[in-house]
Amino acid sequence: MMNGDRITLAHGSGGKLSAALVKEVFAPAFSNGALNELHDGARVRMPGAQLAFSTDSYVVKPLFFAGGDIGRLAVCGTVNDLAMCGADPAYLSAGFIIEEGFPVADLARIVSSMGAAAAEAGVAIVTGDTKVVEKGAVDGLYINTAGIGAVLPGTDVSPRRIRPGQDILLSGTLGDHAVAVMAGRYGLELPPAVVTDCAPLNGLVKEILTAAPTVAVLRDPTRGGLATALNELALQAGVGMMIEEGTIPVRREVAAVCDLLGFDSLYLANEGKFLVIVEPNYTEIVLSVLHRHPYGREAAVIGRVTAAPAGQVGLRTIVGGVRLLDMLVGDQLPRIC
Amino acid sequence: MTGRTTDESRRLAKRLAEEISRLAVRPIRLMEVCGSHTVAIFKAGLRQLLPAQVELVSGPGCPVCVTPNEYLDTAVAYSRQPGVIIATFGDMLRVPGSSSSLAAAKMAGADIRIIYSPLESLDIAAANPTKTVIFLAVGFETTAPTAAATILAAEQAGLANWFALSAHKLVPPALRALLEAGGTRIDGLILPGHVSAVIGEAPYRFLAEEYRMPAVIAGFEPLEILQAVHSLARWLRLGEPRLANQYRRVVKPEGNPVARAVLGRVYGEADAAWRGLGVIPASGLVVRKEYQRFDARRKIPVEPEAAREPDGCRCGEVLRGMISPEACLLFRQACRPENPVGSCMVSAEGACAAWYKYGSGRWQG
Ligand code: SF4
């Protein structure tokens, strides 16, 4: 990135340019041990406690979409970021930036959906802030949430612990959230089966870490999708990965929409799915925990960590060819969360 | 999806690959003409399946890639004129022209709208009667009929502020030019599916008849592409150059006469400039006299900068199948999808972008 450059939508896509923005602009200014792990949340020590701390802003358009809304998203997103650090989320903050003229009824609907999501996740929203800006300064309403929770004792969820030979599990189908939001935005008719997968994953994660405390890493493939999440992990751990295309769960209706609009489900955002990387002797245990839980019914083993080529992800296709599965470049769909 | 299970697809693919390996007793080079085939081949990892002696090279069938800089420079120059709205498909936005791009012009304040169907540009014109709307009409026989229909619709709507900047191109004359120039060492052609759905089989007859070049009109499923490679390998082995249509569910032998009629009503053939291939006789479409009031070039004066190609970019040779993108010194170095030097790195269907994104074809694991 150069000084004369300007921010583009692709810098917010979660893909290559987002990574460059973090690396070249934010990280040098803020550098510290907890941040430099570049996890979904930070793991920090306070006297007597190992904590995880995370924040995220939500700018999804439209505010309401099939199966969810910006409020549920704002709670689940931050809860999931904490869960992906192996933490038990406890407290959230919520900040609202609202455009002048925004209907109070819509705000009430969004806030009550946040309350319901918080109750489901077992977290409390304990502090907040509201700013109102003049018409046109934001598009309706944006929400920021931050959250904090204690790291589950006896676990160490970190890309550093990824090793060749470990299995890669995915908790369910890809692309549901992105397709639901996109349909809402462009007024597409969707089959009723296609709704956002937005859900708090902390309960399921806790069950997994209780059954298999040695899980190496958890990661939710949000912006940039599965392909980007896998690439980040491969780069951070300095390992290769081989993914079996035929094992990746995708809803038939979602695949059809993707075919029609030229989207690739491997790059679409998810809000209720996660990857688990674990030693193979724990794979069956983790898989059975996933399959018993409503948010993990369609979970599958989708691939394996390899020693080489370091930092690269390969995809073995349906017909048995192999190709590189690269990170997202550019923006498939801005403002998806 | 064909509805086949993974195991079945793998078995079939393996069998075809083994057969191909048996048939290809000498090295053969096959060109997939169309960018959609390039992407399909990479996406399925087909190169990995093929024996080393079978090489697939990408051709000139990526519309954005073959659009010369002069066109982009003209579009950028129009976008800077006061009161002009440019309506374009998204893939043109980031293509670098001689010194700028539409994306850069947009950031600097030009009114450039991304559309998904040419007809949307008419709505924009109707909604902005005081502005001049210029639709960027590029593409092959696939998209040209829709552009022609849009011109007819503009006439019917009586729009006086809508224009097309047209640079439609025709595939068969480009193939002839390619073979005529020689030096590409191509042994067979995988012909575009969608273009053929419009033009049918006849325009390709000259390949086998005049150049002894076997060719297959192929679908986009991985197994269909392997089937096409298999047929080509077989005819090469037999020394029988043939033309086959293996995409019958979409491509009728006679093509789509209705689409061609619309096309012929609005456009006539003319020489056209292609990036990398130069000016090819009768390879482009120009708006006929009756519709010239919609032709931006004729109606709106513009002074684009003098066109020049980016230093070091070898798109031209890539588009002719002379080199693979990796032979370009800028590939993966100065030229990447997030910072493209040439057009072949911009379009998702461009050979350089596909080689970059899918890892150069053969997985080194
Ligand atoms: S890699 Fe870039 S510079 Fe080289 S030929 Fe391709 S587009 Fe041109």
Pick from B60, B100, B61, B58: nearest CA to B79: B100
Full DSSP string of B16-73: HHHHHHHH--S-EEEEEEEHHHHHHHHHTTHHHHS-TTEEEEEEEE-HHHHS-HHHHH
Q: At B123, which amino acid appears?
A: D
Domains of chain A, start order: 45-151 (3.30.1330.10), 159-324 (3.90.650.10)
Q: What percent of chain A has pLDDT over 70?
A: 98
pLDDT score for B91: 86
Q: Give nearest CA residue, ligand 1 atom 3.
A: B313
Burial of A154 (0-12, 13-18, 19+ CB in 10 A): exposed
pLDDT in tens, A232-276: 999 999 999 999 999 999 999 999 888 887 789 999 999 999 999
Element (H, E) at B211: helix B205-211
Q: Indicate the residue of A320, A323, A324 with minimum beta-carbon distance to B13.
A: A320
Q: Using a CB cutoff of 8 Å and minimum separation of 24, what contacts does B270-273 make?
A: B272/B167, B272/B169, B272/B170, B273/B68, B273/B70
Q: Distance between CA A68 and CA A319 in Å, rounded?
A: 37
Q: Is the dihedral of CA B352, B354, B355, B361 positive or negative?
A: negative
pLDDT in tens, A82-135: 999 999 999 999 999 999 999 999 999 999 999 999 999 999 999 989 999 999
* Cβ-Cβ contacts under 8 Å for B133 (sequence gap 6 or more): B84, B85, B86, B87, B121, B124, B125, B161, B162, B163
Between the CA atoms of B337, B338, B342 and B343, what dihedral angle is there, to the nearest 10 degrees?
70
**Is the predicted pLDDT of residue B3 greater than 50, yes or no?**
no
Predicted confidence band of residue B2 (pLDDT cuts 50, 70, 90): very low
**Is the predicted pLDDT of residue B200 greater than 90, yes or no?**
yes
pLDDT score for A126: 92
Closest residue in A to B48 (Cα) is A321
The CA–CA distances, whole Å, from B181 to B216, B313, B322 equal 21, 21, 11
pLDDT score for A120: 97
Q: Indicate the residue of A242, A306, A318 with minimum beta-carbon distance to B9.
A: A318
Predicted confidence band of residue B1 (pLDDT cuts 50, 70, 90): very low
The CA–CA distances, whole Å, from B202 to B139, B172, B210, B217, B259 equal 21, 10, 13, 12, 16
Q: Which domain holds residue B105?
A: 1-365
pLDDT score for A30: 83
**Is the predicted pLDDT of residue B8 greater than 80, yes or no?**
yes
pLDDT in tens, A15-35: 788 888 888 888 888 878 877
Please tell me the total count of domains within chain B. 1
In this structure, what token pair is assigned to residue B122?
Answer: 């008419």
**Is the predicted pLDDT of residue B361 greater than 70, yes or no?**
no
pLDDT in tens, B77-87: 999 999 999 99
Q: Distance between CA A116 and CA A185 in Å, rounded?
A: 24
Does A319 contact B365 at a Cβ distance shorter than 8 Å? no
Kindly list the strands in the beta sheet with B188-191, ordered across the sheet, starting from the edge strand earlier in the chain. B54-61, B28-34, B188-191, B215-217, B243-245
Q: Indicate the residue of A17, A324, A326 with minimum beta-carbon distance to B363.
A: A324
pLDDT in tens, B224-262: 999 999 999 999 999 999 999 999 999 999 999 999 999
Question: What's the average model confidence in pLDDT over A45-56?
Answer: 88
Q: Distance between CA A190 and CA A226 in Å, rounded?
A: 23
B45 contacts in chain A (CB < 8 Å)? 315-317, 319-323
**Is the predicted pLDDT of residue B59 greater than 50, yes or no?**
yes
> Collapsing DSSP states into helix, strand and coil, what is residue A287?
helix
- Report whether B17 contacts B50 (CB < 8 A): yes
pLDDT score for B362: 61
Does A321 contact B357 at a Cβ distance shorter than 8 Å? no
- Report whether A167 contacts A283 (CB < 8 A): yes
Q: Is the pTM above the cut of 0.90?
A: no
**Is the predicted pLDDT of residue B53 greater than 80, yes or no?**
yes
**Is the predicted pLDDT of residue A278 greater than 70, yes or no?**
yes
Q: Looking at ligand 1, which atom is closest to the CA of residue B344?
A: 7
**Is the predicted pLDDT of residue B365 greater than 60, yes or no?**
no
**Is the predicted pLDDT of residue A331 greater than 70, yes or no?**
no
Domain containing residue B4: CATH number: 3.40.50.11740
Q: What angle do CA A141, A188, B147 make, to 5 degrees?
A: 115
Does B6 contact A318 at a Cβ distance shorter than 8 Å? yes
Q: Distance between CA B131 and CA A8 in Å, rounded?
A: 27
pLDDT in tens, B312-352: 999 999 999 999 999 999 999 999 988 899 999 988 889 99
Q: Distance between CA A114 and CA A108 in Å, rounded?
A: 10
